[in-house]
Chain A
């Protein structure tokens, strides 16, 4: 109980400091950077629920990012008038998608699980590309996403989008952290460490894998919704396999064994991406080398290494 309220306070403080800082500096590039960091940080943390905590290596996590973004954008474009209701509805739809896809994937072991998730994501990507009438095909959702006022909040205003995104980001981190430190979170770690032993102790392993898949999918979809709000649109690359790969890159780089590792990984990823593309078009190659150095050199993510140093033996 005490640890939980300390973390809540921490999240609140971090959120307040970020907002104050951004308000004081009022810098557009800073706000843009923070927006992307929050969106991709949340996306990476949600993927790590599966990879780092449950031991389920999903190659198709971007399917939820893309689905959340399109569902939200389409609901708003096709007549839903309440923005929060559309967001909630797209989360509910994403949960259903995760439940169905998850139920089919978790039956498979290891690499087969990974590739089936990838296959579902490619399917979604193909649907987005080919259902031009609904999705705009490779052009993405056309004409912007309507953002009517609600509760005095105006999300057509970039600053207000920023505030809402930051609040959603820190609240989500707190929620995920709470879930991972709960008995449920430790059940996921049991599955990761030794699923047969967990089953022999009475844990219904498949049900927990599925629950983890749905929770990860929900927060992945939330990241997608925030992205759709931010760019006022949705694009096929939201659901492309490269985004799944980048998520994996972020968590490997930052560390899968530490809660905030994926956020650090996302920060480094965005930084690299922005600076490297300024100097060379071979940014894929540079990123590949960085990942090789971290994975082969440290054999862990950056925060994993730091935490291992700090922890008494």
Chain B
């Protein structure tokens, strides 16, 4: 099977820091992959490179075989890559419904229309759908800035989802949440993936979550790929245990 998204020999320097060091990774269509690694390993940078937020110094990003490295964010979004952020990145003065409608209009290239009234009926309908999918219906008319932390993370994911992306990148969807809230959001994320089977890649620090839902895992450290494999393989990988996991997740677990 050819990869939906493939990264080949990707390099990114920030001054003296090598944030991405000749990274090569494949993500098959419809796969659910976790990216793990210590702080500063270059996980978020990898997402920034894939989505065109920053330009790579070298290497390729292949989406369905097309090299999109160096393309603008706008062009890459149009190709079907959506993302949510480590720290929820929202439009504070927009309501939940407005945020989603605006995202949909931006993606459909309808935002140049100056005489129509926002939101167009079609965008509103799709916004309702997405709100329902992630369970934000009850908050439709609340301002993004007034949502709880968990709902802000959910709205951030919903914004990406509104674009109906073929590849969905989630940067620490559970960052900053309590245990219960974490599992709630992960259930939602897993349900979305099961229903749509988009190619989903998520960055996560909670290993219980990673080992529970990921089909496969990529481990980054110092900008390099340290290991890749199934959750079971990663759990038993001595290098990964030494570098990141510690002994807590080693074979002892059933």
Chain A positions near chain B (C-beta within 8 angstroms): 1, 3-4, 178-179, 181-187, 189-190, 193-194, 196-204, 208
The reply to whether B116 and A183 contact each other, CB–CB distance below 8 Å, is yes
Q: Is B163 an interface residue when CB atoms closer than 8 A count as contact?
A: yes
The reply to whether B106 and A202 contact each other, CB–CB distance below 8 Å, is yes
- A200–B83 Cα gap in the complex (Å)? 7
* Known A-B contacts A178-B114, A194-B89, A198-B106; A183 and B120 likewise in contact (beta carbons under 8 Å): yes
The reply to whether B107 and A201 contact each other, CB–CB distance below 8 Å, is yes
Chain B positions near chain A (C-beta within 8 angstroms): 51, 53, 72-74, 77-78, 83, 85, 89-94, 98, 101-103, 105-107, 109-120, 123, 159, 163
- A185–B90 Cα gap in the complex (Å)? 17
Contacts of A196 in B (CB 8 A): 53, 89
8 A–B contacts, CB within 8 A, in A order: A186-B111, A187-B105, A189-B93, A196-B89, A200-B77, A200-B89, A201-B102, A203-B74
Chain A interface, DSSP helix/strand/loop, else mixed = helix
Contacts of B110 in A (CB 8 A): 183
- A201–B161 Cα gap in the complex (Å)? 10
Partner among A3, A181, A197 whose Cβ is within 8 Å of the Cβ of B90: A197
Contacts of B51 in A (CB 8 A): 200
- A190–B83 Cα gap in the complex (Å)? 17
Question: Which residue of the partner chain A has the closest CB to B98?
Answer: A186
Contacts of B73 in A (CB 8 A): 199-200, 202
Partner among A4, A186, A204 whose Cβ is within 8 Å of the Cβ of B102: A186
Partner among B93, B111, B115 whose Cβ is within 8 Å of the Cβ of A208: B111
Can you add 15 more A-B contacts, CB < 8 Å, to A183-B120, A189-B91, A197-B159? A181-B117, A182-B118, A183-B110, A183-B113, A185-B114, A185-B118, A186-B101, A186-B102, A187-B111, A190-B94, A190-B102, A193-B90, A194-B90, A200-B73, A201-B107
The reply to whether A197 and B91 contact each other, CB–CB distance below 8 Å, is yes
Question: Which residue of the partner chain A has the closest CB to B78?
Answer: A202
Partner among A3, A190, A194, A200 whose Cβ is within 8 Å of the Cβ of B53: A200
The reply to whether B74 and A183 contact each other, CB–CB distance below 8 Å, is no
* Known A-B contacts A199-B74, A202-B74, A208-B111; A187 and B106 likewise in contact (beta carbons under 8 Å): yes
Least Cβ distance of B149 to chain A in Å? 17
Least Cβ distance of B75 to chain A in Å? 9
The reply to whether B114 and A201 contact each other, CB–CB distance below 8 Å, is no
